[in-house]
Chain A
């Protein structure tokens, strides 16, 4: 498994990371090291081992459907760089 520079560029774009050519090469190398290391696991025979979806020995942790108090509007917007009409004001989003 060899990760290409194009794949790094693609993943960086999805994560909204801006990488220069040098960083791109460096990260491709690092990702390859990680993938190679993880690839060692593939040498194990896991035929009878169920996939691990979760590491915690827990299931069915629920809450009951009962409302509890929310934050006040002031608290909600306290850290907002900008607010208007009780809403977060954000850069324009155009579909």
Chain B
């Protein structure tokens, strides 16, 4: 890639979590039976009039403010005209030249490098319906439940320089959208969708190369892979002295390739004009400030606070604050706990591990802050060892039972009785002459193995410090 620089811009659609659609009072519930959340307005019946949902405007402004955008005082809605049966009206109500918000940015970090990515605009529009195609391609079926669900379209400047940065941007964007609470951001339910533009240009050039647009990438990973594929394809064409065609390409997840979509050249001619059915939106400063005040503490501010207040490292604070649900959980624990580092290690270790394995977010699990608090206290009080705590946690995660109850039921209370441990230690010394000899010959590391044997024999219940001390006492004294 030394000769060329990659230029990427994203268009991200985020569905807003309003209860009703943007221009009518139909519910926005996901997964309802086809055509049960529709009315004459979202079906585009003649004689109906759309009326804007105030909440949708507020959510859009809230998202825009979280993306550091400017909110102009005057916005309007326009009709984007095209014939495609996912829109019963033959136009989509969107925003053209006067969007709700402009000129924002988002700070991302990728491979240790921090960069500021410009946001060109954030506008409000209605979602389209869903089409299902018959197996043999002889007909299609239209479900308009999704038609009219409020969307914001976030358009970045062409500031991204690699597919990995594009993925980092999306992850940060998702985190921010979850923080603001304007969307549940579930890519698998289509509440976040992303199209990407990519082009290559000689390093140092001040113009853009011919770009292609990629569609149909259904995960952040797919966005990165799709862009990597296109980057390589552009590079090969340019390196061979060829010319690229500006076109829209579709990502095929299974084959791992993009291919050109059949589309007419004129298809992009949308003949926008102001929607005469909708009056302008005037957003005064007082309204913007009111919405700004409703913004929660953003991940970056939280990260700074965790470092200052609890002495967490920048890395730990970053990992925990990336997800609002994780950060909220952590704060609930810290309200009753003193050792932030230990709590953070649990969040990033066992908890993250189990959540990843189950493929869920913390707020979708049975785990509550009370579970972790009790578990930490059991360890701190010496009732169970750190090793046993992991076993207990696995069961807490599965069953939602309280840790103390599990410890009681399974008899996992730590052995702190010196006599009991001493007996095990003697047994281990007897059974392992080789490591014992090694230790006595000065191989200090052998003690680790022996402690491990004590733990094993006690099925993890021996207090490790006590086991360690008793082992050393016995081995050292027998040296004399």
Q: Are B276 and A60 in contact, CB atoms less than 8 angstroms apart?
A: no
Also in contact, A70 and B85, with CB within 8 A (given A63-B54, A84-B141):
no
- Report the separation of the CA atoms of residues A93 and B56 in the bound assembly, to the nearest whole angstrom: 31
Is A38 at the interface (CB under 8 A from chain B)? no
Within the complex, which residue of B18, B25, B131 is in contact with A68, where a contact is CB–CB below 8 Å? B25
Q: Are A92 and B138 in contact, CB atoms less than 8 angstroms apart?
A: yes
Within the complex, which residue of A54, A60, A67, A89 is in contact with B27, where a contact is CB–CB below 8 Å? A67
Q: Are B26 and A70 in contact, CB atoms less than 8 angstroms apart?
A: yes
Most buried by A among B20, B34, B81, B266: B34
Q: Are B276 and A73 in contact, CB atoms less than 8 angstroms apart?
A: no
Residue of A nearest to B43 (CB): A76
Also in contact, A90 and B34, with CB within 8 A (given A10-B266, A54-B279, A65-B19):
no
Contact indicator per residue, chain B 124-158, by CB within 8 Å of chain A (1) or not (0): 00000001111001111111100000000000000
Majority secondary structure, B binding face: loop
Most buried by B among A10, A77, A91, A93: A93
Is A37 at the interface (CB under 8 A from chain B)? no
Also in contact, A61 and B279, with CB within 8 A (given A13-B266, A73-B35, A93-B84):
yes
Q: Are B26 and A62 in contact, CB atoms less than 8 angstroms apart?
A: no
Contact indicator per residue, chain A 63-85, by CB within 8 Å of chain B (1) or not (0): 11111101101001100000011
Residue of A nearest to B250 (CB): A95
Is A34 at the interface (CB under 8 A from chain B)? no
Q: Are A66 and B20 in contact, CB atoms less than 8 angstroms apart?
A: yes
Within the complex, which residue of B138, B143, B281 is in contact with A60, where a contact is CB–CB below 8 Å? B281
Also in contact, A54 and B274, with CB within 8 A (given A76-B43, A77-B35, A92-B140):
yes
Is B461 at the interface (CB under 8 A from chain A)? no
- Report the separation of the CA atoms of residues A56 and B280 in the bound assembly, to the nearest whole angstrom: 10
Within the complex, which residue of A58, A91, A95 is in contact with B279, where a contact is CB–CB below 8 Å? A58
Q: Using Cβ atoms and an 8 Å threshold, which residues of chain B touch A13?
A: 266
Is B39 at the interface (CB under 8 A from chain A)? yes
Q: Are A90 and B140 in contact, CB atoms less than 8 angstroms apart?
A: yes
- Report the separation of the CA atoms of residues A59 and B279 in the bound assembly, to the nearest whole angstrom: 5
Q: Are B279 and A14 in contact, CB atoms less than 8 angstroms apart?
A: no
For residue B462, give the distance in angstroms from its CB to the closest CB of chain A.
59
Chain B 244-300 residues near chain A, CB threshold 8 A: 250, 261-262, 266, 269, 271, 274, 276, 278-282
Also in contact, A89 and B141, with CB within 8 A (given A65-B54, A67-B20):
yes
- Report the separation of the CA atoms of residues A76 and B44 in the bound assembly, to the nearest whole angstrom: 12
- Report the separation of the CA atoms of residues A93 and B85 in the bound assembly, to the nearest whole angstrom: 8
Chain B 19-41 residues near chain A, CB threshold 8 A: 19-20, 25-27, 33-40
Is A41 at the interface (CB under 8 A from chain B)? no
Is B415 at the interface (CB under 8 A from chain A)? no
For residue B28, give the distance in angstroms from its CB to the closest CB of chain A.
9
Is B51 at the interface (CB under 8 A from chain A)? yes
Within the complex, which residue of A14, A71, A77, A91 is in contact with B271, where a contact is CB–CB below 8 Å? A14
- Report the separation of the CA atoms of residues A65 and B279 in the bound assembly, to the nearest whole angstrom: 18
Chain A 13-58 residues near chain B, CB threshold 8 A: 13-14, 16, 53-56, 58
Is B57 at the interface (CB under 8 A from chain A)? yes
Within the complex, which residue of B38, B55, B269, B276 is in contact with A76, where a contact is CB–CB below 8 Å? B38
Is B368 at the interface (CB under 8 A from chain A)? no
Is A94 at the interface (CB under 8 A from chain B)? yes
Q: Using Cβ atoms and an 8 Å threshold, which residues of chain A touch B20?
A: 65-68
Q: Are A53 and B269 in contact, CB atoms less than 8 angstroms apart?
A: no
Within the complex, which residue of A53, A55, A62, A95 is in contact with B53, where a contact is CB–CB below 8 Å? A62
For residue B358, give the distance in angstroms from its CB to the closest CB of chain A.
32
Residue of B nearest to A67 (CB): B27
Q: Are B40 and A89 in contact, CB atoms less than 8 angstroms apart?
A: no
Is B83 at the interface (CB under 8 A from chain A)? yes
- Report the separation of the CA atoms of residues A89 and B274 in the bound assembly, to the nearest whole angstrom: 31
Chain A residues in contact with chain B, CB under 8 A? 10, 13-14, 16, 53-56, 58-68, 70-71, 73, 76-77, 84-95
18 contacts between A and B (CB under 8 A): A10-B266, A53-B98, A53-B280, A55-B276, A60-B282, A65-B19, A66-B20, A67-B19, A68-B26, A70-B36, A71-B38, A77-B35, A86-B34, A87-B143, A88-B35, A90-B140, A92-B140, A93-B133
* 7 pairs of A and B residues whose beta carbons are closest in the complex: A65-B55, A68-B25, A87-B141, A62-B54, A86-B34, A88-B142, A58-B279
Contacts A10-B266, A87-B143, A93-B140 known; 15 new A-B pairs at CB < 8 A = A10-B269, A14-B266, A61-B52, A62-B57, A63-B54, A65-B18, A67-B25, A68-B25, A70-B26, A70-B39, A76-B43, A86-B36, A88-B142, A89-B139, A90-B140
